[in-house]
Structure formats: structure tokens, C-alpha cells
Structure 1
Amino acid sequence: MKIYDAAATAQALPWGPLVRAIADTLNDLAAGRVQLPERWVLPLAPSTHWFVMPAWLSPAAGDLAAMKLITYAAHNPERGLPAILGDVLVLRASTGERLALLDGPTVTARRTAAVTLHAARQLAPQPVGPLLVIGTGAQALAHVAGFTEALGIDEVWVLGRTPASGLAFAQTLHQRGIYAEVATNLQTALERCPLIITATSAQAVCLQGQVRDDAFVAAIGAFTPQMIELDPDLTRDIAQRGQVVIDSVAARHEGGDLLAAGIDLSACQTLAEHPARQDRGPVLFKSCGSALWDLAAARCVAEEPQPTSF
């Protein structure tokens, strides 16, 4: 069994092969070649939960399984620790052979950003940017990295919880050769940016106002019914003017942003249903996460041990 640390895990999951693995896994899910039990969310302590997330491919589709075991501790950043800790185990489904052990936080960051990339390429009316990212953590960084490298975005606006955190994040992006500015006014940034990503700890509303008719909003941070990032009025406005797409069926009962807005979740298509880009109106992509995406990462590692760039 190969053991990958964070750096090796990131190297094994380049954006191009990872996005392709996500598309392939979505096709296999639609064809009935994927087993995807609901994830278990187990409370360990106040604000700390253990996520148990299995998924596997039938022998005809690749005979591969992924088991993610991670802990999400919302207050870990205050302790100087990552909010997400854990691992993803890659196995041969028919035999149980252990093939690889991947760094869980790195898989989570990269596969989540790759799913958003896939959705943006399929659904965004203006996938060329500029990009507004709200949040300054690992998910925000992974999304900026993916969008600048895979979509060629060359202008990023940053809104942090505080001016200082936004400035520090922008400086981090500058060090990586990415042009970034701190957004001092949210509505002004929304008028400029057709691509918007919310990647916060989802303890309070971070996005409100009105987005452009050609906006693509990816709401990433809220992944339980109690969490929220989007103002319910904004969510309802996008649903009325445009289109709401969810990453998986689990988002119908886990998407706090949609539940708070009273959206008809039965009418929201999943990525596996291959929704088409509409002619007009903004798009809201609500992502809650799924073991399906960890399985795609496992495929990327097992099937492309020497990945190429995008």
C-alpha cells in the first residue's frame, strides 16, 4: 500500500485528470455502476463530528473502493489546527486489497474544487471571470488554484471575515503568481464578478444582495441543514431568475442554504442528471460533498499513477 502525505496527495490529483475522473464517475453513477451509501455523521464533541463516507465501483467499472474517515472540528483553526483531519483509503473492491492511503484534507480540498470546476465548465454563463472568492481557508485556496490553472482566470477578488484576513489571503495568492485584490464593497464586487465562490465556515450569511444575470455562484461552505452562507432572499432570487443545481441527492436534505430559503429541492437537478446551461439567468451550484468525489480521487490515483497537467 502506498502512503501519500499532503504534498504527494496533491501531486497525484492534478486538475485535469481529477475533473475527468469526476465526469467518469458521474456517468457510472447514472448507469448504476456505483454504490453510494449515505455518509454517517457522528458527533464526537461539541462542534466536532466524524464523517464516515464509503463508495465503490462495480467490477465492470473498475473494481475500486474509497473509504473516507475524517473529523471536522469547526473550532480547530482557533487551536492552530486544520478544521478537517483524516484519511481516504483506496481499496480493490472485490478483494479488499489496500492500494493507497491519501491525506484526507488534501483530497477534500482538491476534489471539492474539481467538482466546482466541472459544474462551472458545464453551467457557468461566463466561465472567464473575474472571480470573487468569499473565505480565506483551505477550500478558498483550492478553488482559486483550480480556477486560475484550469479555467485560466486571471483576476481574483477576495473577501475575508476581516480586512486583515482578506489582505493576508490576497498576499498568499500574490506569492503564487495570482493577481488578487481585496474586495472592500460586496455589491461592487458582485457587479464586477460573474464567478462567485463562498467557502467559509458557514456560521453566518456571507453573501447577500443581487448577483448578475450571468453569474455562477458556487456555495461550498454549508454542508449540514443548520449551516448557511447565502441570504435566503438571494437564494430565492437566483431560483426565480435562473437555475439551481446540486452536487448530489444528499444536498436535498443537507443543503442548509436551500433549506433556509424554502427552495423546492425536488426540482433541483443533480450533476449526475447532466443539467444543461440555461439561456438566461444566474446559476447557483450548491455543493455539500459526497463520497462519490472521493471515489473519483481514488480513480485518479489508481488509474493515472503518473498524471499529466491539465
Structure 2
Amino acid sequence: MTILVIGREDVRRELDYKSCIELMRSAMIALSRGETLQIPRQIVRMDNGRMFGVMPGAMGGQREFGAKIVSVFPENHARGLQSHQGPVILFEPETGTLTAIVHAGEITAIRTAAASALATDQLARADAEILAILGYGDQAHSHVRAIREVRKLSQIRVWGRDIAKARAFAEEIGAEVGIDCHAFDSVAEAVRDADIICTTTAAQEPILFAKDVAAGTHVNVVGSSFAGPAEIDNALVLRSRYFADHREHVLAQGAEFIRAREAGLIDEGHLLAEIGEVLDGTKAGRGADDEVTIYKSLGHVVQDLASAWHLYQKASEGGWGTRVAF
């Protein structure tokens, strides 16, 4: 028996953002329709913010099944490594044999940003053109690349705790995408007049506050993936039309929503819809140009499986990837 190994460079080359956005569209609609199988992610939390997680699931009529097994080491960015390390593993639908191992870090970087771009396309104003990115890691890079697929950006504004690194990121990503890009010393300066904000940090306490967010802004809240760390304050949650990638998971693990609920500011009804329901046309998205909308992203194995099976099929047809005896 052989298994197909699809490495980081394979994923980067073959999983383009435009295609991944469409993969996420199908995956998120299927998730909201109850056409997928998954359980809440199993996370082992270790010292210094490190985590080890297992995310099993099935989709495609339960034929496309597998799991993501991943470690998350926030300090890896300083080492020149991705924060997410591990594989997405796929199993042959008829026999249950292991059939492929796909680089999870690169899939995570691309599919997370693609899902945010999909939500942005649904929830941001049609004329949105100024993007603010909070953070300068893998997700900051990928969110710029993805968001420009759904809006014609005129300016990118960047903030990070280390201003020198933020400036280096701004110079690098601005040159890559050909868009005017500048770093700012404070979050308030970076988000002033922004139409779209993406929070992609490892912040433990809020860095983005309602008072600094302009009317009509769309916010993708991405950095915190479990109950605990929060990137935005309670007042911003309260002010917003709030949408989730998946209701059950956000109610249990969406730190910002949980904090606002526990403070007595909102109840579960404040979570208006899953993005899949908006995409499917069963729930409304933005209602007016002056509303602040929030998309809370936790990430789900159906996103990883949709991406990995897509790559597996392309590799099988195209004859690339590496076959390994097993």
C-alpha cells in the first residue's frame, strides 16, 4: 500500500485563494445544513500558549473523512516557522485505509483566510476598500491575499506589537500585492476609517475597542480559537450584527462572545446566523451601510477536509505529490 504525501510547497502552489474561497462556500453551506459530521475539537493546552489539537470529521455524504492533527506554537513565527504544525490525514472511503497526508499548516493558513474572505464578501459594504490588519504572522499575510480577491482594495493599514516587524510586514505585503500599505503605532490609528478589519493576533486581552471602529465596518475576528483569549472588547460585540462560522462551537468556545454573554450584555440570540446560512439565503446578512458586522472564525475540520480532498484529487489526476510505501 502507498500513501500520497502532499507537502507545503504543493499546497501553496495548488491551493489558490480564489478556488479555496469557493471550496469554503460549499463547505460552510454543508456545515450549516447539517450535511457534515464533526465533534467539538479536542484541544490539549500546554504551557506558554502552546496547544495540541485533534479535529476529526466527515463530509461528502460521509465518504470524504479524515482528521487534522496539529500543534500550535505561537512563538514559531519568530523562528521562521508556521505556528500550526502537523498533517491533515485522509482515508479511502471504501476500505478505510490511510490514503493521504497533507500539510496542515499551509492548508490552515489558506483556508482560514479564504473563509474570512467569503464572509467579507457577504457582510462588508460593497464599496469597502480600506483594509486594516492587526498582526503580522501567517494569518496576516494570508488574509491580505484572500481579502483582495473579494474587494478592490486601495489601502492596507497594519498594526503589530513590534512596530519594526509591522513595518517590515507592511513593506513586504504591499510590494507583493501592489497596494499602498503602511504600519501604525497604535490599533486606534490603524483601524481609523477602515472598512474591513481582520484581527489575527495572539492577544490574550482585547486590543480592538468599539470606540475606535467606524460605522459600517466589517470585522473578521480570527486570532482566538478557544474560550479564553479575546481580541475585541464586549462593547464591540454588543454593537455588532454578530455572525459565526458555526453556532454550537462559537457559543462554547468563542471567547469574545462568551465574555460579553457572561457580562450580561447579550444572550445567545445576539448570534444572528452562521455564515453558511447567510450564503444559503436562509438568514439575512448586513442590513444597512452604517452597521458594524462581525464574523467570528474558529475554524472547522470541514474546511480542512474540503481543501485536502481537493488537493488529493488534483494530485491524483496530475501525477504530482510523493508516493510513500506504508
Runs of 4+ in structure 1 deviating by more than 6 angstroms, as ranges, are: none
C-alpha RMSD of matched pairs (Å): 2.3
Query: Which residue does 1:109 correspond to in 2?
Result: 109
Q: Shift of the alpha carbon at 1:256?
A: 0.9
Given that 1:66 and 1:294 are in contact with CA atoms closer than 8 Å, whether structure 2 keeps it comes out as no
Query: Which residue does 2:300 correspond to in 1?
Result: 290
Given that 1:133 and 1:196 are in contact with CA atoms closer than 8 Å, whether structure 2 keeps it comes out as yes
CA distance in 1, matches of 2:153, 2:119: 15
Q: Secondary structure at the match of 2:225?
A: coil
CA distance in 2, matches of 1:133, 1:123: 17
Q: Shift of the alpha carbon at 1:176?
A: 1.3
Q: Secondary structure at the match of 1:100?
A: strand
Query: Which residue does 1:247 correspond to in 2?
Result: 245
CA distance in 1, matches of 2:267, 2:67: 32
1:200-215 superposed matches below 5 A: 200-208=201-209, 209-215=211-217
Q: Does 1:153 align with 2:153?
A: yes
Query: Which residue does 2:277 correspond to in 1?
Result: 273
1:129-278 superposed matches below 5 A: 129-179=129-179, 180-208=181-209, 209-238=211-240, 243-248=241-246, 249-262=248-261, 263-268=266-271, 269-274=273-278, 275-278=283-286
Query: Which residue does 2:85 correspond to in 1?
Result: 85
Task: Report the AA paired with residue 191 of structure 2.
Answer: L
- 1:17–1:91 distance in 2 versus 1, CA, 3 Å: farther
Given that 2:30 and 2:276 are in contact with CA atoms closer than 8 Å, whether structure 1 keeps it comes out as no
Q: Shift of the alpha carbon at 1:279?
A: 2.2
TM-score (norm: length of structure 2): 0.84
Q: Secondary structure at the match of 2:148?
A: helix
CA distance in 2, matches of 1:77, 1:19: 25
CA offsets 1:189-211 (integer angstroms, 9 cap, x no match): 43321100000012232212232
- 1:78–1:27 distance in 2 versus 1, CA, 3 Å: closer
CA distance in 1, matches of 2:163, 2:138: 18
CA distance in 1, matches of 2:153, 2:309: 27
CA offsets 1:98-131 (integer angstroms, 9 cap, x no match): 3432211111111100110111111112463210
Correspondence for 1:50 among 49, 52, 56: 52
Correspondence for 1:32 among 9, 31, 34: 34
Shifted more, 218-227 versus 31-40: the winner is 31-40
Q: Shift of the alpha carbon at 1:284?
A: 0.7
Given that 1:119 and 1:285 are in contact with CA atoms closer than 8 Å, whether structure 2 keeps it comes out as yes
Given that 1:40 and 1:52 are in contact with CA atoms closer than 8 Å, whether structure 2 keeps it comes out as yes
Task: Report the AA paired with residue 146 of structure 1.
Answer: A
Q: Shift of the alpha carbon at 1:283?
A: 0.2
CA distance in 1, matches of 2:155, 2:76: 31
Given that 1:122 and 1:276 are in contact with CA atoms closer than 8 Å, whether structure 2 keeps it comes out as no
Given that 1:41 and 1:49 are in contact with CA atoms closer than 8 Å, whether structure 2 keeps it comes out as yes
Shifted more, 39-48 versus 49-58: the winner is 39-48
Q: Shift of the alpha carbon at 1:304?
A: 4.5
Given that 1:222 and 1:288 are in contact with CA atoms closer than 8 Å, whether structure 2 keeps it comes out as yes
Q: Secondary structure at the match of 1:192?
A: coil
Q: Shift of the alpha carbon at 1:273?
A: 2.3
Q: Shift of the alpha carbon at 1:80?
A: 5.5
Q: Does 1:301 align with 2:299?
A: no
Given that 2:157 and 2:191 are in contact with CA atoms closer than 8 Å, whether structure 1 keeps it comes out as no
CA distance in 2, matches of 1:5, 1:237: 42
Give the aligned length: 301
- 1:44–1:95 distance in 2 versus 1, CA, 3 Å: farther
CA distance in 2, matches of 1:292, 1:199: 21
Task: Report the AA paired with residue 116 of structure 1.
Answer: S
Q: Secondary structure at the match of 1:225?
A: coil
Q: Shift of the alpha carbon at 1:172?
A: 1.4
